Structure 1
Amino acid sequence: MRTPAVAFALLIVLGQTTCSFGTNIARGGQVTQSSLYGNAVPERAIDGNHASIWSAGSCTHTQNDHKPWWRLDLLKMYKINTVTITNRKDCCHQRLNGAEIRIGNSLNDNGNANPRCAVISSIGAGTSETFVCNGMEGRYINIVIPGRKEYLTLCEVEVTGQPSGTNIANIARGGQVTQSSLYGNAVPERAIDGNHASMWSAGSCTHTQNDHKPWWRLDLLEIYKINTVTITNRKDCCHQRLDGAEIRIGNSLNDNGNANPRCAVISSIGAGTSETFVCNGMEGRYINIVIPGRKEYLTLCEVEVTGQPSGTKIANIARGGQVTQSSLYGNAVPERAIDGNHASMWSAGSCTHTQNDHKPWWRLDLLEIYKINTVTITNRKDCCHQRLDGAEIRIGNSLNDNGNANPRCAVISSIGAGTSETFVCNGMEGRYINIVIPGRKEYLTLCEVEVTGQPSGTKIANIARGGQVTQSSLYGNAVPERAIDGNHASMWSAGSCTHTQNDHKPWWRLDLLEIYKINTVTITNRKDCCHQRLDGAEIRIGNSLNDNGNANPRCAVISSIGAGTSETFVCNGMEGRYINIVIPGRKEYLTLCEVEVSGTESDDLPEYSCN
């Protein structure tokens, strides 16, 4: 006579069985399904009633969905031994043919992307079939009919297994939190302290002021696919304050993160109770709980989050930028702050350093406009960390005052020796990020600067395109307009490069038609021949046409531009209507394959002479 254990082992070998052993752990779970037909709620499948006649009212039923599904949440991870399914008797038992049993911890595709335990070939009308899952681990058990439109009906689902010993990690615990304001000492950290106490007197609930659109934000510090967000509400008072709150998830800090995609709207959470909201693998670094549209207090007694790293790293957009600083101490070049090395000892050779300047500064050019979420700064460890006290982070598109006149994101009160501090800039738009110490003489040292954000969708306007151009002479048909035609082709045969005769002091002039503060001038040189002709050329900017505009103030001298390459020259907000490129002091041909200019309109009006 076989023992139950031996019989069960044989059934495992066969892959399925018609009996099950052990406690039915499905009974304590929570269930949902893809849609609802009448009142055939998903709870019917775990009510303990095996009745399989539709009229008995114990079978679930979805609409005629594409890929209908039913999901059981066991609320913690189990090693699943068996899943037993009872099919409908009076009608349509073949609908379950081809259904799959999926088990895992992800809610991607509503849980249907988890590993597969079994494919149901068929279950007889009104019968029960047991499928062996060999200890597969998971919190979620899905039954899904893939690949076709169908009704899904389940008259009972029973599950056996044992806790896996692996807890479902609450990823909120390792995050950083903030909120719109502070009521008393009810700091935002209270919502992730692991304490579910929901009485105000217990000191474990957050609380804002009576804000318009109050919010609380969790920063997970990397991007996750979020499965669930569980919120515990206050018990002793005012639980209805959370009614209408929204859960927002994403990677942007625009509107303090409240503009990210919405996972759920909280209709209500009972006094002192916890409610779990399923976010189906939404990706994000930030999780916000916000009450939109009214003035309210926001109180959270606990917030728990489950999910898994998305595999998508939070890009440090500083790494692709160009940097400069007010001066150079030794060989401590500005590039050291974006080399990816957080070493904070001076001897490691990874920290920048200026001279003892009045108002020293360091500037990052992102090369396009971004909405900036955060700027993280690592300070020097071995000496002088207080030098950064009072420094400012400035973000914008202007190079006036070397970029230091752009809007301010933050003032650095202090950063500990050798530590990193993150400053939230709430989606401020800009191409340039400056760190500047205003108001005193100081050395500026930065051991690393990291920036997160996303392209703003606003292109950096090339204001040259709307101007009028002329040059000292014309070689063939290589007209001056070629340099502002938007075509970077640098081979002469392409017909997109200007060309003068072999003039003494040849020049090319752009008339912007009004006065601009010029940020940058970018020049593309010829590739196939003679790129050295531009060596020593000057960029002149101003409002005068004396000497054809070549007597205006100088922005830069071009030492050299490689064959077929583009070089950007920073003009720091020089004002002018005219931009000249001139080769002084010798006879030469002047060839320009493209000239691009960025800047902003000046408040000054052009001066016109009537002589």
Structure 2
Amino acid sequence: MIIVALKTTQSNAALVNLALGKPASQQSNFRFDNNNEWTADKGNDGNADTDMFNNHCFHTDDNTSPWWEVDLQDVYYISQVNITNRQDAGTERAESVEISVARQNPGNWQMVAYNEGQIGSFISLTFAPVKARYVRVTLRNKQTYLHLCEVEVFGENVPADDCAVNLCFNGGVCTNGTTILSLGKPASQSSKFKFDNNNEWTADKGNDGNADSDLFNNHCFHTDDNTSPWWEVDLQDIYDITQVNITNRQDAGTERAQNIEISIAKENPGNWSMVAYKEGEMGPFMSLKFDPVQARYVRVTLRNKQTQFHLCEVEVYGYK
């Protein structure tokens, strides 16, 4: 389980609520009667009235991992999300709240905060500033309704000269100076699958520098049939990680590589933090980029899938 350390605070006066009145959407719409429209826009209308029937809260239908999201209409440095829960009924439904961000939609969602258990009447989640345009609130792995009465997203503008001091994810043109850190480093996987005595699809084949996508040419790793199978690499030192490239198997079983989660840690065993997530099938190749995060270990997981896991090359990029 990934748990991000959180702290509950009041809003930073220097930051601006970027979500107010911006376009919002939700996984589904629940309609109680003809007089109540608990649509997504009620979640960021600036009115935190906690009585659902006063029509200032949103309400989804009964879904698995229900979500609400807002389009900030530009990329900002996001560092805080405040949530006001419904209080007239169903308060206990708001639990296992995950905050994820993305620069594009559809895109690669990055989890930035997670609160296990119920949130109560109000919660403020703060985290290291991350550049994003889209912010999503999800009840992770819950089968229930999602209804909240206000979501505030706090942050600030990305400086015009951001490329001069950070990696180029704001549309600028510059050289990021990153290198492949994973090549030939010690790797491991959740289990080993052996087809016959001539094939050893071990973890080290996942970062051997050969992206041949035919499994039987012995340059891909292959796990057994597991729940949430994973592959990981030990970079043998702590680096600033910014990107993970993945080459999928193409000769067969391509569709198994789906719901891919990239997690990192400084120690192993340690606390794993998700930095990127791609829902659905990935296709033959995928490049996941994110703001620099310090780590020694990088793990690729098929989140909540019961299947075999095989990829033909994983490249981890970063700098010291």
Q: Considering Cα pairs closer than 8 Å and 6+ residues apart, tell me whether 1 or 2 has the greater RCO.
A: 2
Query: Taking structure 1 as the reference length, what is the TM-score of the superposition?
Result: 0.26
Query: Taking structure 2 as the reference length, what is the TM-score of the superposition?
Result: 0.46
Greater share of strand residues, 1 or 2?
Answer: 2
Greater share of helix residues, 1 or 2?
Answer: 1
